[in-house]
Amino acid sequence: MPVDLKALYPKLIHLLLDAVFVVDRGDQIVFVSDACEALLGYRADELIGTLITDYMHPDDLAATRASIDRVLNGHSHRDFRNRYIHKNGSIVHILWSARWSEEDCARIGVARDVTALWQAEEKLRFLAHHDPLTGLTNRSLFNDRLESALRAAHRHQRGLALLFLDINDFKSINDTHGHTVGDRVLCTIARRLERCVRETDTLARMGGDEFTVLLTDIPSAAVVKKKVEQIAAVMAEPLGAEFDGIKMPSCSIGVACYPADGEDANTLLSHADEAMYRLKGRRTQTG
């Protein structure tokens, strides 16, 4: 007996892992496959007869409308991404393949959940510009922001300051207590330094136990001095009980101000680095 393909097609559609939507010209849903419940949390009977736009993330409505218009004008769209709101309130990232069927007067779309892919892409984008241990800005992004800040400072005739921080005797923590504990101390330092900077400033881990702070729109040297004192005070706070008596290391802070200490990034970084090492040297000499 031959296979009745017409009878089989609906069963095949409901077996698909991707969700199938059929939507009329007025955006009303007329059909969804079973996979839609896993995608958005709604059963077919909850969706059919409602507007598909009701489930879209509001920030994506304009871009989605442009994609819909493209499909209605006879151009298929195979790689469009947008966000929908799941029944439980979470956000679902969806990749669409859609086309208009003139004979059925309907828009047919196949939706794939790419939330996990989007999360992985976001993580990669974050790691490209941030330190994986502390989550702070990394050297590459810091250098970009320093260059941008210098251009803005030159254009608007404003000052900025660059602080170069080195954690004193940090190697002894790693040697005595292990790198896992050392990493925890670095993360604690990062969180403390975050308390000292404004949203307009940039805090970065340059590598190892070295950190930098970029202070923008600085009106005077007194403001920079006060910021250095604040950081030193925060760094002097003892570590919590979870560190089992480990002493919080101090830090040496070198300072470079634009334009007094240099007008380009390399000069300012070198000046701040040299100032920091002079402080470390005096600290060593005084025991």
Beta bridge partners of 108: 22, 99
**Count of helices and strands (H, E) across the chain:** 10, 9
Cα separation, 99 vs 206, in Å, equals: 50
Mean pLDDT of the chain: 93
CA distance 20 to 25: 16
Q: Quickly name the fold that domain 5-119 has.
A: Beta-Lactamase (3.30.450)
Res. 284: pLDDT tops 70? no
Active site residue 209: yes
Spatial separation of the C-alpha atoms in residues 98 and 101, rounded to whole Å: 10
- CA–CA separation, 81 vs 60, rounded Å? 9
- Three-class SS state of 195: coil
Q: Is the pLDDT of residue 6 over 80?
A: no
Please report how many Cα atoms fall inside a 13 Å half-sphere around the Cα of residue 278, on the Cβ side: 8
Tell me the C-alpha distance between 145 and 71, whole Å.
Answer: 41
CATH of domain 135-285: 3.30.70.270
Please, which residues bridge with residue 137 across strands? 130, 204
> Given this model, what pLDDT does residue 39 score?
97
User: Residue 283's pLDDT is what?
Assistant: 67
Per-residue pLDDT tens digits for 17-63: 999 999 999 999 999 999 999 999 999 999 999 999 999 999 999 99
Return the amino acid letter for 206.
M
108 contact partners, CB below 8 Å, separation of at least 6: 20, 21, 22, 98, 99, 100, 101
Answer whether 192's CB lies under 8 Å from 251's CB: no
What would the pLDDT profile of 172-215 be if each residue is shown by its tens digit? 999 999 999 999 999 999 999 999 999 999 999 999 999 999 99
Q: Give me the sign of the Cα torsion angle 56, 57, 60, 62.
A: positive
Choose among 93, 27, 109: nearest CA to 57: 93
Is the separation of the CB atoms in 166 and 252 below 8 Å? yes
Helix (H) or strand (E) holding 83: strand 77-85
Strand partners, 94: 82, 113
Q: Start-end ranges of CATH 3.30.70.270 in the chain?
A: 135-285
Would you state the pLDDT for residue 240? 87
Q: What is the pLDDT of residues 251-266, one digit of tens each?
A: 999 999 999 999 999 9
Q: What H or E segment, with its residue span, contains residue 142?
A: helix 139-156
Nearest to 190 by CA among 173, 211, 170, 172: 211
Candidates 131, 201, 209, 273; catalytic one: 209
| Positions of CATH 3.30.450.20 in the chain | 5-119
> What is the total residue count of the chain?
287
Note whether 273 and 262 are within 8 A (CB).
Answer: no
